[in-house]
């Protein structure tokens, strides 16, 4: 079972990105408050570090650079992220749909914990894990960059093909 923290001051990590918050809201944080309405999100194709099919909207900052960031991922039903690690702690909030998270070196669809809309997940840096989405899902990640993703099996890394 996955242990859940009610409050954490840890940082999050997932992927280096090329889109910045300035692209979404016209402001460069943290100099100005950032306000992004749901209907104002600019969704783009997910970063090359993720399997095709993901979409991303960066709300604040740039995960590829030092400093705070917030972004959302929109993932289609049936989407999977093979086993991987991050150099930072990972914090995820499920905004809609369901994230199924599993631990270990091999993606096993029969194992894992379902995190439903409104749920939160904290994963310590370096922990090997994978993610599956049985329905259309939107997750939000926030933390301090720069960040990255390292696949357990290099042949799973979409940047290698």
The structural domains of the chain, ordered by start, are 21-31+40-160 (2.60.120.10)
Find out whether 144 and 60 touch, Cβ atoms under 8 Å: no
Residue carrying the six token digits 């783009």: 44
Question: Contacts by 38-47 with C-beta closer than 8 Å and gap 24+?
Answer: 41/72, 43/74, 44/19, 46/73, 47/15, 47/16, 47/17, 47/18
Which pLDDT belongs to residue 115? 98
- Give per-residue pLDDT as tens, 96-126: 999 999 999 999 999 999 999 999 999 888 9
Asked whether the predicted pLDDT for residue 154 surpasses 70, the reply is yes
- Give per-residue pLDDT as tens, 30-83: 566 888 899 999 999 999 999 999 999 999 988 889 888 889 999 999 999 999
Pick 145 or 9 by higher pLDDT: 145
Which pLDDT belongs to residue 25? 44
pTM of the model: 0.80
């Amino acid at each position: 079972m996955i242990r859940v923290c009610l409050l954490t001051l840890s940082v999050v990590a997932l992927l280096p990105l090329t889109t910045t918050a300035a692209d979404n809201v016209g402001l460069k944080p943290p100099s100005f408050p950032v306000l992004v309405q749901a209907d104002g999100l600019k969704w783009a194709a997910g970063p090359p570090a993720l399997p095709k099919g993901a979409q991303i909207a960066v709300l604040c900052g740039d995960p590829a650079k030092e400093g705070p960031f917030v972004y959302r991922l929109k993932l289609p039903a049936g989407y999977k992220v093979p086993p991987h690690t991050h150099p930072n702690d990972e914090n995820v909030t499920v905004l809609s749909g369901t994230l199924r998270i599993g631990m270990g070196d091999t993606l096993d669809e029969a194992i894992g914990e379902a995190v439903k809309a409104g749920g939160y997940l904290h994963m310590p840096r370096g922990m090997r894990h994978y993610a599956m989405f049985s329905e259309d899902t939107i997750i939000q990640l926030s933390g301090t960059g720069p960040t990255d993703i390292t696949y357990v099996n290099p042949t799973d890394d979409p940047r290698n093909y």
